[in-house]
A and B are shown apart, each in its own frame.
Chain A
Amino acid sequence: MSNTNRNRLRRAGLLRKTDTELTDAGYGDVIDDLDKQDVDVLIRVQKELEGVATDTVQNPDDYLDYVRF
Protein backbone atom coordinates (compact mmCIF):
# COMPACT_ATOMS: atom_id res chain seq x y z
CA MET A 1 0.00 0.00 0.00
CA SER A 2 1.37 3.38 -0.97
CA ASN A 3 0.88 6.21 1.50
CA THR A 4 1.35 8.88 -1.15
CA ASN A 5 -2.27 10.06 -1.09
CA ARG A 6 -2.51 10.05 2.70
CA ASN A 7 0.76 11.97 2.99
CA ARG A 8 -0.29 14.60 0.47
CA LEU A 9 -3.66 15.09 2.15
CA ARG A 10 -2.04 15.28 5.60
CA ARG A 11 0.47 17.88 4.43
CA ALA A 12 -2.43 19.94 3.04
CA GLY A 13 -4.15 19.80 6.44
CA LEU A 14 -7.13 18.02 4.98
CA LEU A 15 -6.59 14.55 6.45
CA ARG A 16 -6.55 14.51 10.25
CA LYS A 17 -7.41 10.89 11.00
CA THR A 18 -4.71 8.36 11.86
CA ASP A 19 -4.37 5.33 9.59
CA THR A 20 -6.29 3.22 12.11
CA GLU A 21 -9.09 5.78 12.39
CA LEU A 22 -9.27 6.02 8.63
CA THR A 23 -9.59 2.25 8.26
CA ASP A 24 -12.20 2.07 11.03
CA ALA A 25 -14.21 4.81 9.30
CA GLY A 26 -14.12 2.79 6.07
CA TYR A 27 -12.19 5.40 4.09
CA GLY A 28 -8.71 3.84 4.00
CA ASP A 29 -9.20 2.15 0.63
CA VAL A 30 -11.11 5.15 -0.74
CA ILE A 31 -8.16 7.45 -0.04
CA ASP A 32 -5.56 4.98 -1.28
CA ASP A 33 -7.43 4.36 -4.54
CA LEU A 34 -7.71 8.04 -5.45
CA ASP A 35 -6.04 9.10 -8.65
CA LYS A 36 -3.42 11.87 -8.34
CA GLN A 37 -5.86 14.16 -10.15
CA ASP A 38 -8.54 13.39 -7.53
CA VAL A 39 -6.18 14.32 -4.70
CA ASP A 40 -5.34 17.55 -6.55
CA VAL A 41 -9.07 18.40 -6.62
CA LEU A 42 -9.50 17.76 -2.89
CA ILE A 43 -6.52 19.95 -2.04
CA ARG A 44 -7.62 22.79 -4.36
CA VAL A 45 -11.07 22.86 -2.77
CA GLN A 46 -9.54 22.84 0.72
CA LYS A 47 -7.27 25.79 -0.15
CA GLU A 48 -10.18 27.78 -1.58
CA LEU A 49 -12.26 27.11 1.51
CA GLU A 50 -9.39 28.16 3.77
CA GLY A 51 -9.14 31.49 1.97
CA VAL A 52 -12.87 32.16 2.15
CA ALA A 53 -13.27 31.04 5.76
CA THR A 54 -10.43 33.25 6.94
CA ASP A 55 -12.07 36.28 5.31
CA THR A 56 -15.73 35.68 5.99
CA VAL A 57 -16.36 33.88 9.27
CA GLN A 58 -15.40 34.69 12.84
CA ASN A 59 -14.22 31.17 13.66
CA PRO A 60 -12.75 29.71 10.46
CA ASP A 61 -11.91 26.39 12.11
CA ASP A 62 -15.62 25.79 12.72
CA TYR A 63 -15.97 25.62 8.94
CA LEU A 64 -12.67 23.97 8.13
CA ASP A 65 -13.05 21.20 10.74
CA TYR A 66 -16.34 20.35 9.06
CA VAL A 67 -14.64 19.66 5.71
CA ARG A 68 -11.55 17.88 7.09
CA PHE A 69 -11.55 14.13 7.49
Chain B
Amino acid sequence: MSTASARLSRKLDLLVPALATPGRLVHEAPNAAELAPRLLAETSYLTLAMVPLMETALERARELAPDDPVAAGLAEYLERHIPEELHGGAPGRAALDDLEALGIDTVALRESSPPPKTAAFIGTLCFWIWQRHPVAILGFLALEAYHPHEPSVERLIETTGLPRAGFRQLILHARLDPYHAQELHRVIDTLPLDPEHEQLMGTVGLLAMEALTSAGLDAVADRRAAALAAAH
Protein backbone atom coordinates (compact mmCIF):
# COMPACT_ATOMS: atom_id res chain seq x y z
CA MET B 1 0.00 0.00 0.00
CA SER B 2 1.42 3.40 -0.94
CA THR B 3 2.13 6.08 1.65
CA ALA B 4 0.78 9.64 1.70
CA SER B 5 4.23 11.03 0.89
CA ALA B 6 4.59 8.66 -2.06
CA ARG B 7 1.16 9.64 -3.40
CA LEU B 8 2.08 13.32 -3.07
CA SER B 9 5.42 12.80 -4.82
CA ARG B 10 3.82 10.92 -7.72
CA LYS B 11 1.42 13.80 -8.25
CA LEU B 12 4.14 16.47 -8.13
CA ASP B 13 6.38 14.38 -10.40
CA LEU B 14 3.98 15.26 -13.24
CA LEU B 15 5.29 18.84 -13.26
CA VAL B 16 8.98 18.23 -12.52
CA PRO B 17 10.07 18.42 -16.19
CA ALA B 18 8.19 21.73 -16.56
CA LEU B 19 9.73 23.06 -13.36
CA ALA B 20 13.18 22.23 -14.73
CA THR B 21 12.59 23.97 -18.07
CA PRO B 22 13.57 27.57 -17.12
CA GLY B 23 16.88 26.25 -15.75
CA ARG B 24 17.42 24.23 -18.89
CA LEU B 25 16.77 27.33 -21.02
CA VAL B 26 19.45 29.17 -19.04
CA HIS B 27 22.01 26.34 -19.23
CA GLU B 28 21.61 26.11 -23.01
CA ALA B 29 21.50 29.86 -23.74
CA PRO B 30 24.38 31.85 -25.27
CA ASN B 31 23.71 34.57 -22.68
CA ALA B 32 23.51 32.32 -19.60
CA ALA B 33 25.52 34.83 -17.52
CA GLU B 34 22.79 37.42 -18.11
CA LEU B 35 19.88 35.02 -17.61
CA ALA B 36 20.99 33.17 -14.45
CA PRO B 37 20.76 36.20 -12.09
CA ARG B 38 17.39 37.14 -13.61
CA LEU B 39 16.08 33.62 -13.04
CA LEU B 40 17.30 33.54 -9.43
CA ALA B 41 15.85 37.00 -8.71
CA GLU B 42 12.41 36.29 -10.19
CA THR B 43 12.07 32.97 -8.37
CA SER B 44 13.41 34.37 -5.08
CA TYR B 45 10.04 35.78 -4.01
CA LEU B 46 8.83 32.30 -3.12
CA THR B 47 12.05 31.56 -1.26
CA LEU B 48 11.64 34.80 0.70
CA ALA B 49 8.02 33.93 1.50
CA MET B 50 8.79 30.45 2.80
CA VAL B 51 9.52 31.28 6.45
CA PRO B 52 6.65 33.80 6.82
CA LEU B 53 4.26 31.24 5.31
CA MET B 54 5.52 28.56 7.70
CA GLU B 55 5.05 30.97 10.62
CA THR B 56 1.46 31.61 9.48
CA ALA B 57 0.82 27.87 9.31
CA LEU B 58 2.40 27.36 12.74
CA GLU B 59 0.20 30.03 14.29
CA ARG B 60 -2.94 28.41 12.85
CA ALA B 61 -1.77 24.88 13.72
CA ARG B 62 -1.23 25.90 17.36
CA GLU B 63 -4.79 27.23 17.49
CA LEU B 64 -6.25 24.00 16.13
CA ALA B 65 -3.88 21.61 17.91
CA PRO B 66 -5.93 20.89 21.07
CA ASP B 67 -8.72 19.28 19.00
CA ASP B 68 -6.86 18.32 15.82
CA PRO B 69 -4.06 15.70 15.81
CA VAL B 70 -2.92 16.66 12.28
CA ALA B 71 -2.49 20.29 13.39
CA ALA B 72 -0.70 19.17 16.56
CA GLY B 73 1.80 17.06 14.60
CA LEU B 74 2.25 19.85 12.07
CA ALA B 75 3.01 22.39 14.82
CA GLU B 76 5.69 20.10 16.28
CA TYR B 77 7.32 19.75 12.87
CA LEU B 78 7.23 23.47 12.04
CA GLU B 79 8.72 24.39 15.43
CA ARG B 80 11.73 22.24 14.45
CA HIS B 81 11.90 23.14 10.76
CA ILE B 82 11.55 26.95 10.82
CA PRO B 83 14.90 27.43 12.65
CA GLU B 84 16.53 25.05 10.13
CA GLU B 85 15.37 27.27 7.25
CA LEU B 86 16.67 30.44 8.92
CA HIS B 87 20.26 29.15 8.70
CA GLY B 88 21.10 31.26 11.75
CA GLY B 89 20.10 34.59 10.15
CA ALA B 90 17.09 36.78 9.39
CA PRO B 91 14.48 35.23 7.05
CA GLY B 92 15.68 35.42 3.45
CA ARG B 93 18.90 37.30 4.31
CA ALA B 94 21.19 34.60 2.95
CA ALA B 95 19.25 34.43 -0.34
CA LEU B 96 19.45 38.22 -0.69
CA ASP B 97 23.21 38.16 -0.02
CA ASP B 98 23.64 35.72 -2.91
CA LEU B 99 21.57 37.90 -5.24
CA GLU B 100 23.65 40.96 -4.30
CA ALA B 101 26.80 38.99 -5.20
CA LEU B 102 25.27 38.51 -8.65
CA GLY B 103 24.69 42.24 -9.07
CA ILE B 104 20.97 42.30 -8.26
CA ASP B 105 19.67 45.44 -6.51
CA THR B 106 17.88 43.63 -3.68
CA VAL B 107 16.40 46.82 -2.21
CA ALA B 108 14.61 47.42 -5.50
CA LEU B 109 13.73 43.73 -5.69
CA ARG B 110 12.07 43.77 -2.28
CA GLU B 111 10.11 46.89 -3.16
CA SER B 112 8.89 45.47 -6.47
CA SER B 113 5.79 43.35 -7.00
CA PRO B 114 6.31 39.62 -7.31
CA PRO B 115 5.28 37.93 -10.56
CA PRO B 116 1.44 37.61 -10.72
CA LYS B 117 1.29 33.83 -10.32
CA THR B 118 3.72 34.01 -7.39
CA ALA B 119 1.58 36.64 -5.67
CA ALA B 120 -1.56 34.62 -6.41
CA PHE B 121 0.02 31.46 -4.98
CA ILE B 122 1.14 33.18 -1.76
CA GLY B 123 -2.30 34.72 -1.27
CA THR B 124 -4.07 31.44 -1.98
CA LEU B 125 -1.85 29.51 0.40
CA CYS B 126 -2.37 32.05 3.20
CA PHE B 127 -6.13 31.86 2.72
CA TRP B 128 -6.17 28.06 2.66
CA ILE B 129 -3.95 27.86 5.76
CA TRP B 130 -6.59 29.84 7.66
CA GLN B 131 -9.79 28.70 5.97
CA ARG B 132 -9.06 25.08 5.09
CA HIS B 133 -6.17 23.58 7.05
CA PRO B 134 -2.58 24.63 7.88
CA VAL B 135 -1.34 21.26 6.59
CA ALA B 136 -1.54 23.00 3.18
CA ILE B 137 1.96 24.33 3.90
CA LEU B 138 3.39 20.82 3.52
CA GLY B 139 2.42 20.81 -0.17
CA PHE B 140 4.66 23.85 -0.64
CA LEU B 141 7.49 22.41 1.46
CA ALA B 142 7.30 19.20 -0.59
CA LEU B 143 9.17 21.10 -3.30
CA GLU B 144 12.28 20.59 -1.17
CA ALA B 145 12.41 17.13 -2.76
CA TYR B 146 13.06 18.83 -6.12
CA HIS B 147 16.22 20.62 -4.99
CA PRO B 148 19.03 21.87 -7.23
CA HIS B 149 21.75 19.33 -8.01
CA GLU B 150 25.24 20.38 -7.03
CA PRO B 151 26.94 19.30 -10.30
CA SER B 152 24.42 21.44 -12.26
CA VAL B 153 25.14 24.44 -10.04
CA GLU B 154 28.90 23.93 -10.48
CA ARG B 155 28.45 23.71 -14.26
CA LEU B 156 26.44 26.94 -14.22
CA ILE B 157 29.17 28.74 -12.23
CA GLU B 158 31.79 27.47 -14.67
CA THR B 159 29.92 28.32 -17.89
CA THR B 160 28.73 31.76 -16.77
CA GLY B 161 31.87 32.89 -14.93
CA LEU B 162 29.60 34.43 -12.28
CA PRO B 163 30.95 34.66 -8.71
CA ARG B 164 30.58 31.56 -6.57
CA ALA B 165 29.30 33.80 -3.77
CA GLY B 166 26.09 34.18 -5.77
CA PHE B 167 25.34 30.48 -5.57
CA ARG B 168 25.97 29.70 -1.89
CA GLN B 169 22.30 29.06 -1.10
CA LEU B 170 21.82 26.87 -4.16
CA ILE B 171 24.80 24.75 -3.14
CA LEU B 172 23.67 24.64 0.49
CA HIS B 173 20.19 23.52 -0.51
CA ALA B 174 21.59 20.96 -2.93
CA ARG B 175 23.29 19.42 0.10
CA LEU B 176 20.60 19.92 2.78
CA ASP B 177 17.29 19.52 0.96
CA PRO B 178 17.57 15.75 0.42
CA TYR B 179 17.61 15.40 4.23
CA HIS B 180 14.86 18.01 4.69
CA ALA B 181 12.70 16.18 2.13
CA GLN B 182 13.33 12.84 3.84
CA GLU B 183 12.27 14.31 7.19
CA LEU B 184 9.22 15.96 5.61
CA HIS B 185 8.10 12.67 4.05
CA ARG B 186 8.53 10.94 7.41
CA VAL B 187 6.34 13.59 9.05
CA ILE B 188 3.68 13.36 6.32
CA ASP B 189 3.53 9.60 6.77
CA THR B 190 3.10 9.84 10.54
CA LEU B 191 0.29 12.44 10.47
CA PRO B 192 -3.27 10.99 10.58
CA LEU B 193 -4.18 12.58 7.24
CA ASP B 194 -7.55 12.12 5.56
CA PRO B 195 -8.08 12.30 1.76
CA GLU B 196 -9.02 16.00 1.92
CA HIS B 197 -5.69 16.85 3.59
CA GLU B 198 -3.83 14.93 0.89
CA GLN B 199 -5.81 16.62 -1.88
CA LEU B 200 -5.06 20.03 -0.39
CA MET B 201 -1.32 19.34 -0.14
CA GLY B 202 -1.20 18.05 -3.72
CA THR B 203 -2.99 21.06 -5.16
CA VAL B 204 -0.76 23.45 -3.19
CA GLY B 205 2.36 21.66 -4.45
CA LEU B 206 1.22 21.85 -8.08
CA LEU B 207 0.30 25.54 -7.73
CA ALA B 208 3.73 26.29 -6.22
CA MET B 209 5.39 24.52 -9.14
CA GLU B 210 3.26 26.49 -11.60
CA ALA B 211 4.23 29.77 -9.90
CA LEU B 212 7.94 28.92 -10.00
CA THR B 213 7.82 27.71 -13.60
CA SER B 214 5.91 30.77 -14.76
CA ALA B 215 8.23 33.19 -12.95
CA GLY B 216 11.25 31.39 -14.37
CA LEU B 217 9.92 31.47 -17.92
CA ASP B 218 9.08 35.17 -17.62
CA ALA B 219 12.60 35.86 -16.38
CA VAL B 220 14.47 34.17 -19.18
CA ALA B 221 12.34 33.62 -22.29
CA ASP B 222 12.42 37.04 -23.97
CA ARG B 223 16.10 37.74 -23.29
CA ARG B 224 17.05 34.28 -24.49
CA ALA B 225 15.04 34.71 -27.70
CA ALA B 226 16.74 38.08 -28.34
CA ALA B 227 20.20 36.59 -27.81
CA LEU B 228 19.45 33.70 -30.17
CA ALA B 229 18.11 36.08 -32.84
CA ALA B 230 21.23 38.23 -32.56
CA ALA B 231 23.47 35.17 -32.85
CA HIS B 232 21.82 34.18 -36.13
Which A residues lie at the B interface, using CB under 8 A?
26-27, 30, 33-35, 37-38, 41-42, 44-46, 48-49, 52, 55-58, 63, 66-67, 69
Contact = CB atoms under 8 A, between A and B. Distances in A.
Interface of B: 7, 10-11, 14-15, 17-18, 21, 24-25, 199, 202-203, 206-207, 209-210, 213-214, 217, 221, 224-225, 228
Contacts of A49: 18, 21, 213, 217
18 contacts: A26-B10, A30-B10, A30-B11, A35-B202, A38-B11, A38-B206, A41-B15, A42-B14, A42-B206, A45-B209, A45-B210, A46-B18, A48-B213, A48-B214, A49-B213, A52-B217, A58-B228, A63-B21
B18 A67 contact: yes
A41 B207 contact: yes
Per DSSP, chain B at the interface is helix
Contacts, number: 63
B142 to A, nearest CB: 14
Contacts of A57: 25
Given A37-B203, A52-B21, 9 more contacts: A33-B11, A38-B11, A38-B202, A41-B15, A41-B210, A49-B21, A55-B225, A57-B25, A63-B24
